[in-house]
Amino acid sequence: MAFDFRPATRENVGLLIGLSGSSGSGKTFTAMRLANGMAGDAPFCVIDTEAGRAKHYADRFRFDHGDLRPPFTPDRYAEAITAAADGPYPVIVVDSMSHEWAGEGGILDQQEDELDRMAGQDWKKREACKMASWIKPKMGHKRMMQQLLQIRPHLILCFRAEPKIEMVRTDKGTWEVREKQTLTGLNGWVPISEKNLPYELTASFLLMPDHPGVPLPIKLQEQHRALFPLDQPITEDSGRQLATWASGGVALEPDLEQQWLTRLLAAKDRQQLEAVAKQLKAATGLDDEAIRSLRAAYKARLKTVLQRRTVKA
């Protein structure tokens, strides 16, 4: 069978967006705002594992709803998402994806059932079979992911997140408790999911209850940064621009002041923040009002960074 090669163009790119957060962080509402913007005039679809809670927003958004009930196996998730992908929906929201890992009948339950089958209550045998007991559940997850990566509609996956800590040996040889550092989480908050799933996402964000819907980027590629202002909640406008980009169009660029504000808010420590501020001093094209606004934003961000550093200490 011969292969055909053609010049690459960006058209009809399917996106996988992840929104993680604890209760009250605005995951469901944010997912719907994003989906509403991405879907345009068409309705989107919500696969709901939260006993119909997504229907609380039925008066606000135009969407079709489907309940996904236990057992929350990877195969049932794949069945539901494939059914939605075969429908008329340009965007599919899954709320919540965390049940596939930690819900009733999810991967953790499947592994425990498999261990019971292989070793019963023989604790010595259970220890020996522990690794083997993960094979069947992990294969189910792998099949699900293979199907998800082949569908054409955009997918927005909501994850519950939980704070994690770890013990780290310092340069002085002592042990210190710190927020867990991981590429799939942020500030010690880690999405509840199979550990490799977040790597498949096009973009992912952490949302916090103190600023619901305001994105803290976990994974955000350069070409998408301008679409998500970091000082305000995610809105339908981000969804519209994201869909335009995915279809091959050119998303609107924010103004120069907004670009600098995004860079200031993305700085994770004092060193990064001061580096951006240094570049900002040499920048051109900003009026006096914009400069005053950005100086205020720098001071506010510096205060936040220093407070976070004090809490860690």
DSSP string across 66-89: EE--S---HHHHHHHHHHHHTTT-
Please state, as a whole number, how many other Cβ atoms lie within 10 Å of the Cβ of residue 30: 24
Q: Copy the structure tokens of residue 13.
A: 């790119």
Rounded Cα–Cα distance for residues 227 and 242 (Å)? 7
266 three-class SS:
helix
Residue listed under structure tokens 């609107």: 252
pLDDT score for 309:
59
- Cα-based angle 198, 203, 205 (whole degrees, multiple of 5): 80
pLDDT score for 251:
57
Rounded Cα–Cα distance for residues 70 and 137 (Å)? 16
Q: Among 136-150, 168-182, 276-290, whose mean pLDDT is lowest?
A: 276-290
Contact 191, 201 (CB under 8 A): no
Average pLDDT, the chain: 90
Q: What is the band of 178 on the pLDDT scale with cuts at 50, 70, 90?
A: confident
| All structural domains of the chain with their residue ranges | 16-253, 255-313
- Is the pLDDT confidence value at 308 over 70? no
- Is the pLDDT confidence value at 312 over 70? no
CATH classification of 16-253 is 3.30.70, yes or no?
Answer: no
Q: What is the band of 298 on the pLDDT scale with cuts at 50, 70, 90?
A: confident
Q: What is the band of 169 on the pLDDT scale with cuts at 50, 70, 90?
A: confident
Residues 93-106, mean pLDDT to the nearest whole number:
97
Rounded Cα–Cα distance for residues 105 and 97 (Å)? 13
Contact 93, 158 (CB under 8 A): yes
Rounded Cα–Cα distance for residues 204 and 154 (Å)? 14
pLDDT score for 254:
57
Residues 168-191, mean pLDDT to the nearest whole number:
89
- Is the pLDDT confidence value at 311 over 70? no
Please state, as a whole number, how many other Cβ atoms lie within 10 Å of the Cβ of residue 132: 12
